[in-house]
A and B are shown apart, each in its own frame.
Chain A
């Protein structure tokens, strides 16, 4: 397994991109209240912070446009705040159905070679990524 100590290393389960609720609240300013209405906008710095959370390299030249577009979108979305939903049960599934369960059995055959044939970089059956352990 030359990969681990060489130029590359194995990438394990990758969870970093899932929405992260716990570790990012401090990055943003609070909604601004003017004349009793909430006015939301996203500054260029905030756009950069969100882009980092999303692991998205955003072109510096695009930041002002995104700041404007995202502010407009948030302004549109603010219309929801005018509705009283205090006693409304959130709807997560359009048919209000629960997830179907299946027996905990192995059902998928191993197709590693097939799946790795479309990977950007593999070696000895493992996916290669830039080194993360010095």
Chain B
């Protein structure tokens, strides 16, 4: 069963070949057997999952099952789950039991999906390797000496290792697309505002967006369709109709105008990644897509711009963790200030502290204009580049990451080197566009991701292009060897 995707599992459930309870037991037993090495889960909720699965089976018996009813999934531990620990990968929230469900959790639950647990992640989603988690690093199932990418590394690795057919993620600067690429699976980050942020723990509010990991574009379309849509509880949620993504998957590629931003193919791109991406582009061309070189001249500015805006917003968002109402509180505080300072100093790990410090500095008097305001201006320039590109083409295509998965510990001591891993993904968040990564082959045995970037609210087209590509390739069906 673990080899099957969501659409196939739904057919099996409908045909009565197995129940959701049996499917969920299989998922739980694989997690038990394989996750000691991979460390993709922070919390497994066997009891809750089995109860939800039995509920799904009852609804199916009553003729009330939808396409996702009874399908197991995992949530990134950034989404609040009522009554279940939501740690955000941090000591700060190690004992935090959320008193409500995030909108994403609520919607997928209402669609009958069975939550089996909460996946590991970089602390507060700050990282590109899943090494900043309080719960230890996640290992890449393709090579356990390497990172899965981050920050949604647990979700990506769990789907790649065939532990769950789908998992949620969030993407502030590449945190869905980069781990999807490094783990060889499909991941989509929708347009900013498409998926409700309600109950999704905030990192950088002008960039954060929820999305999904799955084995194929077809599966991702089903899950995204269920989680997207307007939510009045999120002030940045967009009032736009969500099209039927599954129904739109069969658009042929003929005549599709594909832009190749030349900046994605410059210095720093590993040869093996370049070869795989070139081959993927050739597949699109064979299917009738028209290729055009385009330019995003300010792409290089996205790293400095992002590393002002994201830390500035993080320093503000994370000011709520003060040891008063919830979360970690230090032992025996001398006074109020000591309690604030030590609760935060002991509750946050090094990378979160670095970003709070950078953000606090960038927002401080005399520096606001030079950093935050300047970064917002650069953000406009980056965004304008995309606007111009989309006047000429329908989608943009390139490598998701310039390299394959790097070794555990290799970059942990050099934040700037780590930040540069995100060079190809950050600009998409700054512009607020939808982006996707799909498996496009291997370089030295490690997965390579192809990034697809669409115009605002054009997730349906990205999913359709990805689906057509997956009809003509089988990279998305490749699974890593099991290591227990």
CB of A100 within 8 Å of the partner chain: yes
Known: A14-B324, A50-B357, A91-B376. Contact between A19 and B316, CB under 8 A?
Answer: yes
Interface size class, chain A: 35 or more
Known: A18-B319, A118-B96. Contact between A70 and B416, CB under 8 A?
Answer: no
The digit string for A101-134, where 1 denotes a CB below 8 A from any CB of B, is 0100000000100110111110000010111100
B411 CB to closest chain A CB (Å) equals 13
CB of A32 within 8 Å of the partner chain: no
Whether B308 and A85, one on each chain, are in contact in the complex, defined by CB atoms closer than 8 angstroms, is no
Whether B324 and A120, one on each chain, are in contact in the complex, defined by CB atoms closer than 8 angstroms, is yes
Contacts of B337-354 to chain A: CB distance below 8 A: 337-342, 344-346, 348, 350, 353-354
The digit string for A43-79, where 1 denotes a CB below 8 A from any CB of B, is 0000100110111111100100010011011111111
Whether B377 and A89, one on each chain, are in contact in the complex, defined by CB atoms closer than 8 angstroms, is yes
**Total interface residues in chain B, CB < 8 Å:** 83
A17 vs B301: C-alpha distance when bound (angstroms): 29
CB of A34 within 8 Å of the partner chain: no
Contacts of B433-471 to chain A: CB distance below 8 A: 456
Whether B304 and A100, one on each chain, are in contact in the complex, defined by CB atoms closer than 8 angstroms, is no
Whether B344 and A55, one on each chain, are in contact in the complex, defined by CB atoms closer than 8 angstroms, is yes
A21 vs B320: C-alpha distance when bound (angstroms): 18
Which A-chain residue is minimally distant from B330 (CB atoms)?
A57
Which A-chain residue is minimally distant from B346 (CB atoms)?
A57
Whether A72 and B456, one on each chain, are in contact in the complex, defined by CB atoms closer than 8 angstroms, is no
Whether A72 and B415, one on each chain, are in contact in the complex, defined by CB atoms closer than 8 angstroms, is yes
A115 vs B325: C-alpha distance when bound (angstroms): 8
CB of A2 within 8 Å of the partner chain: no
Across-interface contacts of B340 in A (CB, < 8 A): 16-17, 55
Whether B232 and A102, one on each chain, are in contact in the complex, defined by CB atoms closer than 8 angstroms, is yes
A19 vs B367: C-alpha distance when bound (angstroms): 12
Contacts of B345-377 to chain A: CB distance below 8 A: 345-346, 348, 350, 353-354, 356-368, 370-371, 373-377
Which B-chain residue is minimally distant from A93 (CB atoms)?
B206
Of B238, B324, B337, B357, the contact of A11 (CB 8 Å cutoff): B324
A28 vs B342: C-alpha distance when bound (angstroms): 24
Whether B380 and A90, one on each chain, are in contact in the complex, defined by CB atoms closer than 8 angstroms, is yes
Whether A70 and B325, one on each chain, are in contact in the complex, defined by CB atoms closer than 8 angstroms, is no
Of A24, A50, A115, A121, the contact of B99 (CB 8 Å cutoff): A115
Whether B358 and A57, one on each chain, are in contact in the complex, defined by CB atoms closer than 8 angstroms, is no
CB of A88 within 8 Å of the partner chain: yes
A27 vs B364: C-alpha distance when bound (angstroms): 10
A119 vs B359: C-alpha distance when bound (angstroms): 27
A6 vs B322: C-alpha distance when bound (angstroms): 22
Across-interface contacts of A80 in B (CB, < 8 A): 301, 304-305, 308, 374-375, 378
CB of B398 within 8 Å of the partner chain: no
Known: A21-B363, A91-B376, A91-B377. Contact between A72 and B316, CB under 8 A?
Answer: no
A30 vs B339: C-alpha distance when bound (angstroms): 32
Across-interface contacts of B363 in A (CB, < 8 A): 19, 21
Across-interface contacts of B336 in A (CB, < 8 A): 11, 129-130, 132
CB of A1 within 8 Å of the partner chain: no
Whether A70 and B357, one on each chain, are in contact in the complex, defined by CB atoms closer than 8 angstroms, is yes
Of A66, A97, A129, the contact of B324 (CB 8 Å cutoff): A129
A51 vs B375: C-alpha distance when bound (angstroms): 22
B21 CB to closest chain A CB (Å) equals 31
Known: A56-B345, A100-B235, A120-B329. Contact between A22 and B360, CB under 8 A?
Answer: no
Whether A94 and B361, one on each chain, are in contact in the complex, defined by CB atoms closer than 8 angstroms, is no
Which A-chain residue is minimally distant from B326 (CB atoms)?
A118
Whether A76 and B419, one on each chain, are in contact in the complex, defined by CB atoms closer than 8 angstroms, is yes
Across-interface contacts of A11 in B (CB, < 8 A): 324, 336
A44 CB to closest chain B CB (Å) equals 12
B173 CB to closest chain A CB (Å) equals 13
The digit string for A2-33, where 1 denotes a CB below 8 A from any CB of B, is 00000000010010111111111101100100
Whether B364 and A91, one on each chain, are in contact in the complex, defined by CB atoms closer than 8 angstroms, is no
A99 vs B207: C-alpha distance when bound (angstroms): 15
A45 CB to closest chain B CB (Å) equals 13
Q: What are 16 A-B interface contacts by the 8 Å CB criterion?
A: A14-B322, A18-B316, A20-B364, A28-B366, A55-B344, A56-B341, A56-B356, A70-B358, A72-B416, A73-B358, A79-B300, A80-B301, A83-B298, A83-B378, A114-B99, A130-B336
A sample of 14 more A-B contacts (CB under 8 A), given A78-B304, A119-B326, is: A14-B324, A54-B356, A56-B353, A56-B356, A73-B416, A79-B303, A80-B375, A88-B377, A94-B192, A95-B192, A97-B236, A100-B232, A115-B325, A121-B329
